[in-house]
Chains A and B, each alone.
Chain A
Amino acid sequence: MFNLKTTPFHERTSVLCQPQNWRKWAGYFVAGSYEHTLDSEYWAIRNAAALIDVTPLIKYIIKGKDAAALLHRVTTRDIYKMKVEQVYYTGWCDDEGKMIDDGTVSRLDDSTFRLTAAEPNLRWLTMNAVGMDVSITEVTDEIATLSFQGPNTRKVLNLVCEKPVDELKYFRLMTNAIKGAQVTISRTGYTGDLGYEIWMDNNDALKVWDTLMEAGADYGIAPVGILAMDMARVEAGLFMLDVDYTSTTHAWIEAQKSSPFELGLDWTVALDKPGYFVGRRALEREKKEGSAWKMVGLEVDWDGMERVYKQVGLPPQIPGMAVRASLPVMVGNVQVGYASTSSWSPLLKKYIALAHLQRPYYELGTAVRMEITVEHHRQHAPAKVVKLPFYEPEWKKR
């Protein structure tokens, strides 16, 4: 039978996945959730320790004398400043300064980097590496990856790792071992909480999984699917390719493309870095002229929404998960943008959304209205533009 791949954790995850809601992700099957409702998985992320199989994340090893030069050229960050065992989050653009993809760059040693991406980028990297002394190897299928997220994760890791992880700072990585299995642990994640990503050889996958599950039992560890992670990432103000923005390589029309500035990634665009990088001129221009759009957080005014529902005799009803549907955002009777992901936040008890608004409506505090469907009728709930992330616990970076 031709089918998509399963990850090296499948032997465990397939037994645990009660609702059998497998989701396709970059040519793999992963569990959407392990339980029939998302509540406890979400709270494992926010209150305990969530073990998430993120193996399908596309991974490249970029190695050679010019590895740094290649990544310096392709991404918007200043890779020359990057230290060994440091991790950068970055986007990368086409020459018009529009986003192709985003991910993390990890400097494993002086001339070796690991790049993660949502979509395959081997062709783009290869095209940019002409004349460079560098090799680019996709290792997605060889390196199993677990995202271990939540406030208790450090304690659990300290129980099972050869070296303690206490000193591992935010967006840094270390080599370590779990029951003899060599792993790389980075203090990164997609939840905006304290969290780590553990990178290991496929052959060690089950051993690492079992060890963590066993040691984490007393700390509330739970296998968590990508649906609960989706809620957490909205709270963390983190966007997703193909959901919250369209890669230039997929866009049919110019209007579908986004620049890093439009996605709120100003802090990742190192216009002061030396030399050429792809998209530099267009990004310099946009920086000077300002952006036409901006991705912002929207917080729906609960009382206002309640009033709209009350008209039909109902309390507010919103889905208990992140919804990837475009919702128009209005000011007066004019549409000024759209929300690309909206979600109930169980922790904040708020209805929140990642939205793309046109100038000048993207300024903090702007009052807008977001579409809601009330008993089959389109209505609008009052909302306001707020700072991202919606939620940032003090332990995230500490």
Chain B
Amino acid sequence: MTSNNYDAIIIGGGHNGLVAAAYLARAGKKVVVLERRHIVGGAAVTEEIFPGYKFTEFSYVVSLLRPEIIRDLELPKHGLKILPLPSTFTPMENGDYLASWDDHDLTRREIYRHSPLDAEAYDEYARVMARAAKAIKPIINLIPPDPSSLHPRDLFNLLKLGQYAASLSEKELYMIAKLVTQSSADMLEEWFETDALKGTKAASGIIGTFLGPRSPGTAYVLLHHYMGEIDGAFRAWGFAKGGSGGVSGAIANAARALGVEIRVNSPVKQVKVKNGRAAGVVLENGDEIDSKVVLSAADPKRTFIQFVEPKHFPDEFVTAIQNFRVRGSSGKVNIALSRLPRFTALPDEPALYRGAVSISPSIDYIERAYDDAKYGQISRRPYLDMIFPSMIDPDMAPPGQHVLSCFVQYAPYDVEGGWDDEKRNQLGEAVISTIEQYAPDIRECIVGMQVISPKDIEAIAGITGGNIFHGELLLHQIFFLRPVPQWADFRTPLKGYYFGASGAHPGGGVMGAAGMLAAKEMLKDGF
């Protein structure tokens, strides 16, 4: 007999929703998670699209998952294993390659081969970025204060932020000022001369945005990706055992162990509002569930425009949400392989297949890919970030066979003519023919292929616009501006209704921070 009365309802069983649910249950609350699909995980799911081959369907690497969440929810006990992703390999257009490892000396030797100056700059750059990340990181766990508000909570948080800013050295402040205003191309050109190095670094500055490496503000996105690298032992990018579904699975297990009820196949139609307060939800099937509070872990558009009638919000707020940029710019191609393809540039070194393979030979290459997308086209030669999950976790594919996960950018949500099977084929073909330039035998290895456009991300994972961060990490959409000014503290203009997902501070990347912080704010308010 399932109850229809809870302390808290969580809309959306993605990793943030599950994290929030677990934290609330941990504080003794009776919590239900309502998930639209038949499985939990949202964009962090693993599915066997072809029997025996496990695809980490959307998100595919972990680095930003907050270590305190792993500790608080005892995720390792519930199955979480983050396996190392020890290298990055960038094949170059001239047949050479650039590689980097988690070993400092090996990496220096390799970059030295291309440029002795870059080999040193690489170290210094890593340190500067790590310092900037270290300087900015405390902000991630801070509730963004509204600088215009006189509310004691905002004043207190503003004071904390001020104290924090004052603790930074002048050099650090200048560095941060530069990072938030520069384009990643401009910044990287100050450091390096090797095209493949600049291209590969620049790539992390455009992921999930509808910007090119020469667009201002992309240097910050680059830094965002460095956040995961400064927690000592936790520093590196990793691949979760079982794919990203392994992360969601562990959080779901932890949540269940804490007493959370998870209902799949339960799409929410609307949030019930009683006396100006959120009071529960109505499901698509008409069922009603009551609760004292509701947290939406969906994207901002769904949270504020679809689930709640606009009349419950101030006009300005609704307009601001409408203006929130969620332009999906990337897709995913998951491939089942009968064997590993052979990258011609790659020396005979199977170890490199355990790391990432980046198709990012230069900044110009990526900027050109962006040029196509700017005018509504799929990049003819897209940026690809590939991993072979089965090389990291052998259980991802039948023995001797493999899976390949290709993140592909740019694939604009608003592609000219709209997304259909033909466009999807075009995206798949752009990816395969791009890989083919470096691994000519790729086609021979393909057993099955899944092409995911931003439209599919929207349809399957339920993210409006198909943006992997639920909203671009642009400077005007982060911190106290995320999702909209004055409402960055996980509360909403509707009492009892909270918002804690990637579209909230501090943004996406399978961090779980938004879910955790939102839960903590809800508990502070009491219910």
The answer to whether A and B come from one shared complex is yes
Shortest CB distance B348–A (Å): 8
B116 interface residue (CB < 8 Å to A): yes
A27 neighbours in B (Cβ, 8 Å): 105-106, 108-109
A-contact bits for B129-152, CB 8 A (1 contact / 0 none): 001001000000000000000000
Which of A118-126, A276-284, A303-311 is near enough to bind chain B?
Answer: A118-126
Shortest CB distance A122–B (Å): 5
Which of A1-9, A34-42, A190-198 is near enough to bind chain B?
Answer: A1-9
Residue pair B349, A2 in contact (C-beta under 8 Å):
yes
A163 neighbours in B (Cβ, 8 Å): none
A285 interface residue (CB < 8 Å to B): no
Residue pair A2, B105 in contact (C-beta under 8 Å):
no
Shortest CB distance A305–B (Å): 34
CB nearest neighbor in A for B131? A252
Of B116, B121, B124, B347, the residue contacting A138 (CB under 8 A) is B116
B-contact bits for A12-42, CB 8 A (1 contact / 0 none): 0000000000001011000000000000000
State in angstroms the CA–CA spacing of A202 and B63 once bound together: 43
State in angstroms the CA–CA spacing of A251 and B167 once bound together: 17
Q: Which of B104-124 contact A (CB under 8 A)?
A: 105-106, 108-110, 116-117, 119-121, 123-124
A377 interface residue (CB < 8 Å to B): no
Chain B's interface: helix, strand, loop or mixed, by majority? helix
Residue pair A4, B105 in contact (C-beta under 8 Å):
yes
Residue pair A123, B105 in contact (C-beta under 8 Å):
no
B349 neighbours in A (Cβ, 8 Å): 1-2
A250 interface residue (CB < 8 Å to B): yes
Instruction: Say yes or no: A122-B117 contact (C-beta < 8 A), given A2-B106, A2-B351, A5-B109.
Output: yes
Of A24, A26, A27, which is in contact with the most chain B CB atoms at under 10 Å from its CB? Answer: A27
B101 neighbours in A (Cβ, 8 Å): 2
B160 interface residue (CB < 8 Å to A): no
Shortest CB distance B442–A (Å): 23
Of B106, B120, B131, B351, the residue contacting A4 (CB under 8 A) is B106
What is the interface size of chain A, counting residues whose CB is below 8 A from a CB of the partner? 18
Residue pair B99, A2 in contact (C-beta under 8 Å):
yes
Shortest CB distance A189–B (Å): 25
B-contact bits for A307-329, CB 8 A (1 contact / 0 none): 00000000000000000000000
Residue pair B120, A122 in contact (C-beta under 8 Å):
yes
Instruction: Say yes or no: A120-B119 contact (C-beta < 8 A), given A2-B351, A4-B105.
Output: yes
A249 interface residue (CB < 8 Å to B): yes
Of B99, B124, B127, B351, the residue contacting A123 (CB under 8 A) is B124
Shortest CB distance B369–A (Å): 29
Shortest CB distance B188–A (Å): 15
Instruction: Say yes or no: A123-B117 contact (C-beta < 8 A), given A2-B351, A249-B124.
Output: yes
Residue pair B127, A249 in contact (C-beta under 8 Å):
yes
Shortest CB distance A377–B (Å): 28
What is the interface size of chain B, counting residues whose CB is below 8 A from a CB of the partner? 20
Shortest CB distance A62–B (Å): 14
B-contact bits for A111-145, CB 8 A (1 contact / 0 none): 00000000011111010000000000010000000
Of A3, A5, A26, A123, the residue contacting B120 (CB under 8 A) is A123
Instruction: Say yes or no: A122-B108 contact (C-beta < 8 A), given A2-B351, A249-B124, A250-B127.
Output: no
Instruction: Say yes or no: A26-B105 contact (C-beta < 8 A), given A122-B116, A123-B120, A249-B127.
Output: yes
Shortest CB distance B378–A (Å): 35
State in angstroms the CA–CA spacing of A252 and B135 once bound together: 11
CB nearest neighbor in B for A28? B105
B108 neighbours in A (Cβ, 8 Å): 27, 120
A124 neighbours in B (Cβ, 8 Å): 120
Residue pair A24, B117 in contact (C-beta under 8 Å):
no
CB nearest neighbor in A for B124? A249
State in angstroms the CA–CA spacing of A155 and B124 once bound together: 45
State in angstroms the CA–CA spacing of A124 and B119 once bound together: 12
Shortest CB distance B16–A (Å): 31
State in angstroms the CA–CA spacing of A156 and B110 once bound together: 39
Residue pair B124, A24 in contact (C-beta under 8 Å):
no
Instruction: Say yes or no: A4-B117 contact (C-beta < 8 A), given A123-B124, A249-B124, A250-B127.
Output: no
B-contact bits for A262-274, CB 8 A (1 contact / 0 none): 0000000000000
State in angstroms the CA–CA spacing of A122 and B327 once bound together: 43
B106 neighbours in A (Cβ, 8 Å): 2-4, 27
Residue pair A123, B121 in contact (C-beta under 8 Å):
yes
Shortest CB distance B246–A (Å): 29
State in angstroms the CA–CA spacing of A123 and B123 once bound together: 11
Instruction: Say yes or no: A24-B120 contact (C-beta < 8 A), given A2-B99, A2-B349.
Output: no
A5 neighbours in B (Cβ, 8 Å): 109
Residue pair B131, A120 in contact (C-beta under 8 Å):
no
State in angstroms the CA–CA spacing of A208 and B362 once bound together: 45
Shortest CB distance B130–A (Å): 9
B110 neighbours in A (Cβ, 8 Å): 2
Shortest CB distance B32–A (Å): 45
B127 neighbours in A (Cβ, 8 Å): 249-250
A-contact bits for B469-485, CB 8 A (1 contact / 0 none): 00000000000000000
State in angstroms the CA–CA spacing of A121 and B119 once bound together: 10
Shortest CB distance B104–A (Å): 9
Q: Which of A229-284 contact B (CB under 8 A)?
A: 249-250, 252
CB nearest neighbor in B for A141? B112
A-contact bits for B85-102, CB 8 A (1 contact / 0 none): 000000000000001010
List 23 contacting pairs A-B, 8 Å CB cutoff, sorted by A.
A2-B99, A2-B101, A2-B106, A2-B349, A4-B105, A4-B106, A5-B109, A27-B105, A27-B108, A27-B109, A120-B108, A120-B116, A120-B120, A120-B123, A122-B116, A122-B117, A122-B120, A123-B120, A123-B124, A124-B120, A126-B117, A249-B127, A250-B127
Q: Which residues of B contact A (CB under 8 A)?
A: 99, 101, 105-106, 108-110, 116-117, 119-121, 123-124, 127, 131, 134, 347, 349, 351
The 9 closest A-B pairs by CB, nearest first: A123-B120, A27-B105, A120-B120, A27-B109, A122-B116, A123-B117, A4-B105, A122-B120, A123-B121
Given contacts A122-B120, A123-B117, 16 further A-B contacts (CB under 8 A): A2-B347, A2-B349, A2-B351, A4-B105, A4-B106, A5-B109, A27-B108, A120-B108, A120-B116, A120-B120, A123-B120, A124-B120, A138-B116, A249-B127, A252-B131, A252-B134
